[in-house]
Amino acid sequence: VQLVESGGGSVQAGGSLRPSCAASEHTYSRYCMAWFRQAPGKGREGVAAIDGDRRTYYADSVKGRFTISKSNAKNTYGLLLQMNGLKPEDTAVYYCAAERVVAGPFVLQEWPYSYWGQGTQVTVS
């Protein structure tokens, strides 16, 4: 399983970004996928997840501002994270993760996921 993030960047507070994570069709259709982030000096935290049945899960800190979705455009499969109303505290490296099956209560925890991307930097000033 290979995951490749892109689409991070720098924005002012209140702005929007939409990082994406490219994956294979198999991963896209069958795996639970999630976004995590790690701010400087802090541990990695779960931001949002979408399971194989397209149920979505969000951390309280991003509910109402972030939207996770799976994308299939022009036979390119991936995971998106639409981030609106960005705040300076959203500054972090954002990672895409995937695992075949993750039980609902644990989808925003790091330990169930075996596959990780390299991360993409998001900076909000």
Alpha-carbon distance of 96 to 90, in angstroms, equals 16
From first to last of its 125 residues, the chain has per-residue pLDDT tens of 899 999 999 999 999 999 999 998 888 888 999 999 999 999 999 999 999 889 999 999 999 999 999 988 777 788 999 999 999 999 999 999 999 999 889 999 999 999 999 999 999 99
| Residues 111, 22, 71, 120, Cα dihedral to 10° | 70
| Identity of residue 89 | E
pLDDT for the residue numbered 72: 84
Q: Which residue has the tokens 């996770």?
A: 68
Alpha-carbon distance of 29 to 24, in angstroms, equals 9
The answer to whether the CB of 56 falls within 8 A of the CB of 80 is no
pLDDT for the residue numbered 42: 95
pLDDT for the residue numbered 116: 97
pLDDT for the residue numbered 13: 98
Please state the separation of Cα 31 from the chain's center in Å. Answer: 13
DSSP β-bridge partners for residue 57: 49
Q: Which residue has the tokens 């795996």?
A: 31
pLDDT for the residue numbered 45: 97
pLDDT for the residue numbered 8: 93
pLDDT for the residue numbered 122: 98
The helix (run of H) or strand (run of E) holding residue 70 is strand 66-73
| Identity of residue 93 | V
